[in-house]
């Protein structure tokens, strides 16, 4: 469980986060949603420790991450995997070297064990055989999957994904969402995804936090989205006129949950 | 503006604590060290050789022009070229060239990694990026740059020979006599001290500019330029202080 407690973040005169309190539940796919500029990425980076909050605390179970010493922070980071918006794959390394990098750096595994683990995670993301290629030689969707493979190679307890669907076509986005959701269930990890993709919200959002202008505007799960009377969520979710018409039609037939729809 | 430079200096000093922290995995650092040695040494060798040959050649021709018709014996030109190359030209010019060549590349490489979130990705893995990205470069440069400077000094002296003896400015015996005359081994020590100091300066300044870059490609270009400009200025300044310290 990761808990954000009274998180404020200010860059110069600009206050980006204004007192966020939210609990990201263990073993679930937690989503941080909101429009561009709402403060999603800043919150995610505070949770993972890349930014320090101006005020407030981040708890990893009983540990106050914001006040840990260097050793404590490193211990938590070894339990964290992260998929970046731009993948952050090292261009000069092959796919295999990219995935092997955390193992090379932090584990005493033998070369054979590392090779087997690389093959295992690549198979898990349905990319078996791409080991010798470079990131520039594969598509954007494949790069995302390699990013996921690298993030899970050390079997993390927490998986953070910053905009995993950005720049992908709808079908590939769904594949990535399903992959992240399946991995979360299989490995029983706590996943936190920062997204503005509607399909992600409706398909994998087990615990959702909606941000608006740096404040928590709504919390709930995917099943509570359609029946919401929260104006902010409604405006965000049904920004597409086509989707709004569809849902209005469904609601007029008395269907208010995803399953009914 | 002055305050910004002061703040940067403070940031640089505090950053050194991270740079010199104990590596997480010596093997990985060693691999990176070898890669950096190759990049700095072999990668810069052609330009260093080219510049050194012409430095020696121009120095000889220039001094021949100045001293022709005077009572100073011609072999003095060989002596002057040798000492100029060893004491000043080889270390300083080589390092100024390396600041432009290697320094800007390092700033751009690390800055690019910052912008593409590679550094964030490494931090999340638990890696001390300041150390992993800078320490191998520093050690590699401190080893390889003195070697490049030695090569530059030798090639410069050879360049002087090629520009003078075949052209008939003076005889081979006179040039060799000059090179062997009044040799002071301490001058080589001075050359090595300069080389190591300049190497540390050019790597530190370049990595600092790249590591803390913010913004987009324009800022990255500016950081790369700053790496070269500040590197050159600090090399020239430290050259003066080393000369004063080691010759008084």
Q: Which domain holds residue B162?
A: 36-243
Helix (H, G, I), strand (E, B) or coil at A16: strand
Write the CA distances from B237 to A69, B20, B194, B240, integer angstroms: 39, 25, 11, 5
Is the CA virtual torsion B159, B160, B166, B167 positive or negative?
positive
A86 in a structural domain:
no
CB A19 within 8 A of CB A7: yes
B104 in a structural domain:
yes
CA nearest to B11, candidates B207, B198, B202: B207
Instruction: Give tens-digit pLDDT for B28-49.
Output: 999 999 999 999 999 999 999 9
Q: Which domain holds residue A109?
A: 92-155
Nearest CB neighbour to B124, from listed A77, A104, A105: A77
> To the nearest whole number, what is the mean pLDDT of chain A?
89
Q: Supply the pLDDT for residue A36.
A: 86
Residues A116 and A134 in one domain: yes
Nearest CB neighbour to B126, from listed A78, A86, A160: A78
Question: How many whole angstroms separate alpha carbon A124 and alpha carbon A152?
Answer: 10
Residues A184 and A228 in one domain: yes
Instruction: Give tens-digit pLDDT for A98-134.
Output: 999 999 999 999 999 999 999 999 999 999 889 999 9
Tell me which chain B residues have a C-beta less than 8 angstroms from the C-beta of A49: 124
B68 in a structural domain:
yes
Residues A71 and A162 in one domain: yes
Residues A160 and A261 in one domain: yes
B134 in a structural domain:
yes
| C-alpha torsion angle, residues B180, B182, B183, B189 (rounded to 10) | -160
> How many domains in chain B?
1
Distance from CA of A259 to the nearest CA of B (A): 38
B117 in a structural domain:
yes
Write the CA distances from A76 to A47, A66, A71, B125, integer angstroms: 11, 11, 9, 10
A84 in a structural domain:
no
Residues of B with CB under 8 A from a CB of A: 24-25, 27-28, 116-118, 120-121, 123-127
Nearest CB neighbour to A80, from listed B116, B118, B124: B124
Instruction: Give tens-digit pLDDT for B169-223.
Output: 889 999 999 999 999 999 999 999 999 999 999 999 999 999 999 988 999 999 9
The answer to whether the Cβ–Cβ distance between A77 and B116 falls below 8 Å is no
Residues A234 and A250 in one domain: yes
CB A168 within 8 A of CB A144: yes
CB atoms near residue A231 (< 10 Å): 11
Distance from CA of B228 to the nearest CA of A (A): 24
> How many domains in chain A?
2
Residue B24 has pLDDT above 80, yes or no: yes
Residues A168 and A246 in one domain: yes
Instruction: Give tens-digit pLDDT for B13-22.
Output: 999 999 999 8
Q: How confident is chain A (261 residues) per 10-residue block, as mean pLDDT? A: 94 93 94 91 93 94 90 90 92 95 93 95 92 94 93 94 88 89 92 88 89 92 82 80 77 66 56
B25 in a structural domain:
no
Residues A16 and A54 in one domain: yes
For the record, the structure tokens of A156 come out as: 């993390």
Residues of A with CB under 8 A from a CB of B: 48-50, 74, 77-78, 80-82, 84-86, 88, 90-91, 101-102, 104-106, 160
Q: What share of chain B in percent tops pLDDT 70?
A: 100
φ/ψ (deg, to 5) at A206: -85, -25
Tell me which chain A residues have a C-beta less than 8 angstroms from the C-beta of B121: 82, 84, 88
Residues A70 and A102 in one domain: no
């Amino acid at each position: 469980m990761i808990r954000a407690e009274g998180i404020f973040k200010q860059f110069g005169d600009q206050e980006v986060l204004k007192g966020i309190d939210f609990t990201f539940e263990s073993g679930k796919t937690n989503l941080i949603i909101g429009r561009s500029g709402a403060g999603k990425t800043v919150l995610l980076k505070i949770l993972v420790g890349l930014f320090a909050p101006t005020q407030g605390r981040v708890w990893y179970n009983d540990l106050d991450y914001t006040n840990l010493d260097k050793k404590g922070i490193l211990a938590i980071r070894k339990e964290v995997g992260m998929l970046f918006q731009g993948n952050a794959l090292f261009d000069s390394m092959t796919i295999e070297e990219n995935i092997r990098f955390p193992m090379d750096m932090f584990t005493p595994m033998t070369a054979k064990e590392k090779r087997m683990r690389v093959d295992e995670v690549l198979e898990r993301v349905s990319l078996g055989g791409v080991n010798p290629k470079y990131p520039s030689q594969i598509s954007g969707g494949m790069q995302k999957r390699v990013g996921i493979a690298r993030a899970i190679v050390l079997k993390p307890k927490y998986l953070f994904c910053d905009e995993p669907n950005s720049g992908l076509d709808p079908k590939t986005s769904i594949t990535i969402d399903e992959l992240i959701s399946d991995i979360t269930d299989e490995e029983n990890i706590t996943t936190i995804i920062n997204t503005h993709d509607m399909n992600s919200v409706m398909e994998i959002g087990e615990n959702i936090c909606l941000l608006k202008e740096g404040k928590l505007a709504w919390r709930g799960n995917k099943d509570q989205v359609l029946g919401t009377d929260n104006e902010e969520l409604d405006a965000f979710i049904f920004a597409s006129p086509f989707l709004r018409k569809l849902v209005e039609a469904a609601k007029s037939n008395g269907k208010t949950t995803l399953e009914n729809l | 503006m002055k305050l910004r430079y002061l703040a940067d200096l403070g940031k640089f000093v505090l950053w050194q604590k991270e740079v010199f922290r104990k590596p997480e995995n010596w093997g990985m650092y060693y691999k990176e060290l070898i890669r950096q040695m190759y990049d700095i040494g072999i990668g810069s060798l052609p330009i260093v050789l080219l510049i050194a040959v012409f430095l020696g050649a121009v120095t000889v021709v220039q001094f021949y022009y100045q001293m022709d018709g005077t009572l100073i014996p011609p072999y003095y030109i060989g002596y002057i070229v040798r000492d100029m190359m060893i004491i000043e030209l080889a270390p300083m010019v080589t390092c100024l060239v390396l600041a432009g060549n290697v320094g800007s590349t390092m700033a751009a490489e690390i800055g690019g990694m910052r912008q593409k979130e590679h550094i964030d990705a490494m931090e999340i893995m638990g890696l001390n990026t300041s150390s992993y990205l800078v320490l191998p470069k520093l050690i590699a440069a401190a080893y390889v740059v003195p070697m490049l400077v030695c090569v530059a000094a030798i090639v410069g002296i050879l360049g002087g020979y090629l520009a003078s003896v075949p052209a008939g400015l003076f005889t081979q015996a006179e040039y060799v006599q000059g090179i062997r005359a009044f040799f002071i081994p301490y001058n080589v020590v001075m050359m090595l001290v300069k080389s190591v100091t300049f190497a540390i300066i050019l790597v530190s300044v370049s990595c600092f500019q790249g590591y803390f870059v913010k913004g987009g490609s324009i800022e990255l270009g500016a950081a790369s330029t700053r790496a070269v400009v500040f590197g050159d200025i600090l090399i020239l300044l430290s050259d003066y202080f080393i000369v004063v310290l080691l010759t008084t």
